[in-house]
Amino acid sequence: MKQQLLTRIHDRTAVVGIVGLGYVGLPLAMEFAKAGFKVIGFDVSTRVCDLLMSGKSHIQDVPSDEVAAMVRGGRFEATADEARLRECDAISIAVPTPLGKTRDPDMSYVNAATDTIARNAHAGMLIVLESTTYPGTTREVMQPRLEATGLTVGEDVFLAFSPERVDPGNATWHTKNTPKVVGGITPACTEVAMALYGSCIDTPVAVGSTEAAELVKLLENTFRSVNIGLVNEMAIVCDKLGVNVWEVIDAAATKPFGFMKFTPGPGIGGHCIPLDPHYLAWKMRTLNYKTRFIDLASEINSSMPDFVVEKIAHALNEERKAVNGSTVLVIGVAYKKNIDDMRESPALDVMRLLEERGAVVEYHDPFVASFREDGHERRSVALTADRLGAADAVVIVTDHDGVDYQAIMDAASLVVDTRNAAARTRTSRARVVSLSATSTAGATQPAAPTRERPALAAR
């Protein structure tokens, strides 16, 4: 079975299935199709399948003309019919792995995908899980479900884990040129999975087990979460000391060794960094071990929206205004710049906290025209001089490159800048309040009278 599958992969006669056609699955499907494979994309959403079959992409990083070309050429087909998976020789699973309310892993999507594949599995098939999860998932959750069909993993079918490394909006690193970690249940599983990904990914990287591959992704994002937590705490430290955190970080980054630059912000978002470390923390709790770094970083990062709202409230108070009744214009609601992805965006927390205090909140985002939350629809407002001037505070939460920050500084009276976007501008009419350190008066308008506190006073 292994040799037959390897032959079909090498001569491109293997049919590749992708379960889940979202931020991970669709880019991967396009890479396999461009490499010469016939790709069957399966998604439970008939709306998504119909959209793709009409040649339109719902993912920002995948151009619609690319999807249309693959559909026209017969290389890609999207379907909600699970029976089509029987045609596949290899299947990659790219479904969500959210956390529950108690921060326990929600494995329902992975379980459902595995059961769907098991109902349609056949000898000579490779199954690869790409969804981020806790170490042991592939072996402990997927393998028993597949082998319940009578197929033996490593002999009849092949099972592996290969963590997705998608970075939405990254113009340099994408699916094809980002190294791909692969770990199988058995050496034969690893060999087959390496052959499959090596056919369309520039650099496949083998590890010795599925557990090692699962842990790779968790280490990567835990590393980022901990370091972001460190610089976020440093922003709070600098704020209390009256020091500009951006200046400190930029100066530290001149060191050519022993330092890696991370920047603070209003919180963390996306599907990976806010969630992935908790898969590892949950797994370790089952082994009676407390992951202290992970828990502390999560505590600091999740507190940043509250810190930002306190900044806004204090800035308004210095203008002799209350949060209650003030109009606050939020710039950027995506979780990071230059993308339309709002998953776990700290902007949503900032907006909610402001509204709980009675503020009238509007937003502008060139990538997010509208969104629904708690049954209410919000729409992006135009970034006009009149609207900027009318706002009691403008808060830069996500610093999209396409936003005219000079226009903001010229028209607004108060800007709370959580991303150091004001550094990109030449002059400012606005009073600018940074994430740390003291406020700076505008170039043509003096700051409102304030009672300055000693630099080391508690705030």
What are the catalytic residues?
Answer: 272
Q: What is the DSSP letter of 311?
A: H
Q: Count of CB atoms within 10 A of residue 256's CB?
A: 6
* Nearest-angstrom CA–CA distance, 109 and 97: 7
Calculate the alpha carbon distances from 397 to 16, 229, 403, 439 in Å: 40, 17, 12, 17
Which two three-digit tokens encode residue 346? Answer: 């700290």
Residue 169 phi/psi, 5-degree rounding, is 85, -5
Which two three-digit tokens encode residue 411? Answer: 């028209």
Which two three-digit tokens encode residue 92? Answer: 């990659």
* Nearest-angstrom CA–CA distance, 63 and 293: 39
* CB-CB contact of 66 with 30 (8 Å): yes
* CB-CB contact of 68 with 105 (8 Å): no
* Nearest-angstrom CA–CA distance, 253 and 404: 27
**H or E stretch at 362:** strand 360-364
Decide: helix, strand or coil at residue 140: helix
* CB-CB contact of 139 with 183 (8 Å): no
Which two three-digit tokens encode residue 48? Answer: 């998504």
* Nearest-angstrom CA–CA distance, 328 and 414: 10
Which two three-digit tokens encode residue 234? Answer: 């440093």
Decide: helix, strand or coil at residue 239: helix
Which residues are paired to 183 by β-bridges?
161
* CB-CB contact of 408 with 388 (8 Å): yes
How does 355-374 read in b/e, with b if 16+ C-beta sit within 10 Å?
eebebebbbbbbbbeebeee
